[in-house]
A and B are shown apart, each in its own frame.
Chain A
Amino acid sequence: MTRTPELDAPAAEPTFEVIRRFVVVRGVRRPLRLVRFATGWVASVETESGPSVGTDHSPYLAARRALEPLGIDLVDTLTLLGPMPRS
C-alpha cells in the first residue's frame, strides 16, 4: 500500500473543537458537549440512564438528538445553543 505524505503529515490545524453549553432540566444543570469535526458534529449529554449521543452535519440537529431523552425539543435546542461556529 502506498502511503501519501499528505495523509501521514500532522494536521496544521486542530481536527476538532469542543464547545460546551449547559442545560437545566427539572433543576439539574447538565453539561452538553458538542464536538465539531470537519464534516459535522457530535453532541453528548449526561442523562439518568447514561450519556446520550447525537450526530449530524448540523450542530442543532445533533444537539437535538442528544437532548431528546431529556424532553428538549428543537426550538429549545436552537435557543439553548445560540449562534454556532461552522463545521
Chain B
Amino acid sequence: MTVTDPRVEAGGRDAKRLTALESALAQFDRAAEHLQLAPETRAILRVPKREWTVNFPVTMDDGHVEVFTGYRVQHNVSRGPAKGGIRFHPAADLDEVRALAMWMTWKCALVDVPFGGAKGGVTIDPRSLSQGELQRVTRRFATELQGIIGPETDIPAPDVGTNAQVMAWLMDTVSMHAGYTVPGVVTGKPVDLGGSEGRADATGMGVMFTAERALAELGISLDGATVAVQGFGNVGEAATRLIHEQGGKIVAVTDVGGGVANPAGLDPARLLAHLKETGSIAGAPDTRPIDNDALMALDVDLLVLAALEGQVTGANAHTIQARVLAEGANGPVTPDADPILAERGVVTVPDILCNAGGVIVSYFEWVQNLQSFAWPADEVAERLRLVIGRAYDQVAEMRDAQGIDARLAAHAIAVGRVAEAQQIRGRYP
C-alpha cells in the first residue's frame, strides 16, 4: 500500500519514521494474521467506513480571511456510535486522522465500551490564535460537521490542542442548529455543561492505573519508582500529578518548549505554575534542562510517553533503559521499535490500553447525559479503575496464554471483538 505523508516526502527529521497510518496498519495486519481472519473481514476493517475533508473560511481578528482544512474519519461503527477526539495541530492530516480513528476502534473494543472509532482534526496551530479566532474556527468546523456528528452517530471529544472549552463551543453550535440543547453530542465538556466529574484527568488516571499494574508485575511499587514523562499537556500533566500523588518520583519532564530534570524529584504543581506563567515548563526553578532524546534514554523505572506519535522508533529504541514504557499518547512507539524494546526487556503498556481512560470516562459522560444523572468523582474513578483493570487483566491473560507480546494481545482482543460484531450483524443489503 502506498502511503503519502508530506513529512516523509519532505525528507526531514521524520524521513525514516513510519507514519502513524503505516504503524496502525502494520499493527492491524499483525493482529488479523494472528487471528487468521478471513480476507474479506480484513478488507473491511483495514479501511475507514467514512471520511470527510472540509475547507472552511474564518475571519481573523485583523479582518483577513483564512481558509482552514479539517477532517473527520469514522473508521468502524459495528459496535456502536463512532467515538473519537478532535485535534487542532499544524501536522494534522487525513492519513494521521485515519490512523487515529482506527486506533479508537480498537481502543473502544478493548475496554468493551459500546462505541466504534472516529477521529477529527484541523490543520492549525491553536497557540497562534486568539480565543475569539479559536472559537470561530471551532464553531465553523462544527457547522461543517453538522449531520455527521450527534449523540447516536458520532461523538467527538478533546484531543491534542483542544479542551473542555472547545467542546463547549462545539456543543453550543450543534445545539443552536438543532434548536435545543444537545449535551450528548460531545464528551469532555465542562462539568457545568454536563461534563463528567473526573473526565479532565481520566486519560492520565488510566495511564497511572495501568503503569502501576505493569510495574507491579515486575515487583516494583509505584510508590518510590523513578519516572520520566514526555509531554505535559492534557494527558502528561494529569499523569505526572497523579503518579506524584501515589509516591512516584518524577525525575524529568519535557513539553513542546523544552524539558526539565532533577534527580531529587520534581514537583508537578510547580511545573504547572511555571507553565501557566511562561507557556512552557522549560526553565522552571530548581531544575536543569533536558531534551526529549535524553529524557527517553534515562535509566528510570517508568517512562511515560504522552506527546505525539512516532517518538520511539527503530532508530532510537536501543537507547531506552526504562523498565516500563507507558504509552499515554497514541502510537508513540512504531512497530519496528517493538522487537528492540522486547529484546531489551522493556515492558510496554500498549496505547490502546494505557490511554483508554479518556474514552472510558467519555463513555461514562455519555451515559450520564443520556440518563440526566451525574455521578460523583469518586464513583467515576472507581468505575474507571474497574473497567481499565479488567482490560489489563484480559490482555495479560491473553499475553501469557498465547506467549505473545502485550501489544499483539491487546490488538487481537480488540480486532477479534470488532470482527465478531461485524460478522454477527451480517452484510447489508
Contacts and interface: CB of A to CB of B under 8 A. Distances in A.
Given A57-B41, A61-B420, A83-B403, A75 B36 contact: no
Given A74-B413, A83-B403, A86-B36, A61 B419 contact: yes
A74 B417 contact: yes
A74 B112 CA distance: 12
A75 B397 CA distance: 9
B97 to A, nearest CB: 28
Interface in A25-44: 40-41
Most buried by B among A56, A83, A87: A56
Most buried by B among A40, A74, A84, A86: A74
Interface residues of B, number: 20
Contacts of B419: 58, 61
Given A75-B398, A78-B398, A61 B413 contact: no
Main secondary structure of the interface of B (DSSP, over half): helix
A58 B417 CA distance: 13
Contacts of B130: none
A73 B45 CA distance: 21
Nearest to B399: A79
A5 interface: no
A84 B36 CA distance: 9
Given A78-B412, A78-B413, A78-B416, A57 B38 contact: yes
Nearest to B395: A75
B264 interface: no
Interface in A46-87: 56-61, 64, 74-75, 78-80, 82-84, 86-87
A82 B413 CA distance: 13
B387 interface: no
Interface residues of A, number: 19
A57 B36 contact: yes
Given A75-B398, A75-B413, 14 more contacts: A57-B38, A57-B41, A58-B38, A60-B35, A60-B416, A61-B419, A74-B416, A78-B398, A78-B402, A79-B401, A82-B401, A82-B402, A84-B36, A87-B36
9 nearest A-B residue pairs (beta carbon): A57-B38, A79-B401, A58-B36, A75-B394, A58-B35, A79-B397, A74-B416, A78-B398, A58-B37
18 contacts: A41-B36, A57-B37, A59-B36, A61-B35, A61-B423, A64-B416, A64-B420, A74-B413, A74-B416, A74-B417, A75-B398, A78-B398, A78-B401, A79-B402, A82-B402, A83-B404, A84-B36, A86-B36
